[in-house]
Structure 1
């Protein structure tokens, strides 16, 4: 390409993209999954009626946000599984990656639970299809690799999924308690790294064969 060629214009975000981005920003700032369509309209500069037009309702917007976030996360896990490294290292990187995801998107695990437990069977089935089942399958594969290589004890993959998911989210979910009890005003990247090291060490001490 010629050096003096003009750069191609960047595609402007679509209306759907702007609505999703606005809702994500609100949930991240509030460290919560509660918001109104008026909040999204004010943040995006768009009419709240456009949520119904593009997503059907607020739950449709939430499902769209989670599906996009899940797609990014699952691609990262799939790439990790394909790497040639010990299962212990894969699992360590996986857990640290979950914590980094929740650091960037503190609403994500709570959004999963809300859509699965509070929004009816259809929403629960969708979340299971595009996120929970694939993630559980990837984790089971990591555990099986570790057992086969002699690195891991055999554990229940369902117990592992729930225990690790809850542990990785706890620092962010219970931040208000951390602020009141331990004076943790904000969670910064250094704290995120320390917490990741702690969780990885805690889980591996119960999983790795000695």
Structure 2
């Protein structure tokens, strides 16, 4: 099969870093946001990208490969910021504020992300699932656990199970942003207002931190 215009040579398991690869990833992201679900067909993604479905196999090996690459693209910035946060010489409460705000903003930017992660972890086997766990889920989980434990040890936070808190924080983000399409009409368009997503982190912080402070 001939290469798409501007395509770079494939690397690794059928991958390429050419422009068409990024167009496919962005098409998948845009469709998932518009439809309010990560359940988007391969043909719909290819049609939005203006290419044929076989090009997905050319660039990613399979639809699963495309979805894993999308998760890695969407979480790269958050992981870099998480490393920076871990290195900051600030108290645990300040770290927790930054951490929660970062999670909310990530899921605001990519509202399909939690659903996509769940789909990949549930439906895929072997290498793909392990890559997702190792590259995003485990680092996020471990970083939050360390922040909470440090906050409790410093007397800034009351004792709480860090694992339970993980689901409280992620759950708040997931339900809001994954439900925007379904609840749009019920709430009079409020969920489509950029100010709602912008102000949501402050509300999450207020509720969670008031429940955690000693």
TM-score by length of 1: 0.85
Question: 1:70 maps to which residue?
Answer: 75
The two structures, once aligned, show a CA RMSD in angstroms of 2.1
Question: 1:195 maps to which residue?
Answer: 200
The 1:90/1:188 distance shift into structure 2, 3 A limit, reads farther
Partner deviation per Cα, 1:95-150 (whole Å, 9 max, x = no partner): 12211111111111111111112334543322111111111111112112212221
CA–CA separation in structure 1 for the residues paired with 2:198 and 2:87: 24
Question: 2:85 maps to which residue?
Answer: 80
Gaps of 5+ in 2: 1-7, 9-16
In the TM superposition, what is the alpha-carbon distance from 1:13 to its structure 2 partner? 5.0
In the TM superposition, what is the alpha-carbon distance from 1:193 to its structure 2 partner? 3.0
Does structure 1 residue 100 correspond to structure 2 residue 86? no
The 1:134/1:191 distance shift into structure 2, 3 A limit, reads same
Question: 1:204 maps to which residue?
Answer: 209
TM-score by length of 2: 0.83
Question: 2:4 maps to which residue?
Answer: none
CA contact (8 A) 2:71 2:117 kept: yes
Gaps of 5+ in 1: 1-10
CA–CA separation in structure 1 for the residues paired with 2:82 and 2:119: 23
CA–CA separation in structure 1 for the residues paired with 2:126 and 2:190: 38
In the alignment, which of 116, 123, 128 is matched to residue 123 of structure 1?
Answer: 128
The 1:81/1:187 distance shift into structure 2, 3 A limit, reads farther
